[in-house]
Structure 1
Amino acid sequence: RRSVVWSDSEHLAVIGLEDMVVVRANGHTLVMPTGRAERLKQLVQHL
């Protein structure tokens, strides 16, 4: 429910996930609540 799950190459499985974003890209995985999306910009700038 209200979640986004995306992977560029690997299989990804989730069960009972609610209000979360899960992204797997370039060998890295990001898991975060959808309500904290504004923090993504801070994380990307830090990397």
Structure 2
Amino acid sequence: MKLLIDVYYCESCEEEFAVNKDREVVCCPHCESQDIEKSYTGSHSRI
């Protein structure tokens, strides 16, 4: 089974993070900054 994920980049702490495509992102989970942008949508397999 493949799940779609959105990968975001935080301008403040320069970290990337991924969330399930159906989730709304309001801030970076690392530094809680709202200075984030969507990098790309990908997929991964769930085992």
Q: TM-score range by the shorter chain?
A: 0.3 to 0.5
Q: Going by fraction, where is helix more abundant, 1 or 2? A: 1
In the superposition, the TM-score normalised over structure 1's length comes to 0.36
In the superposition, the TM-score normalised over structure 2's length comes to 0.36
Larger relative contact order (C-alpha < 8 A, sep ≥ 6)?
A: 2
Q: Going by fraction, where is strand more abundant, 1 or 2? A: 2
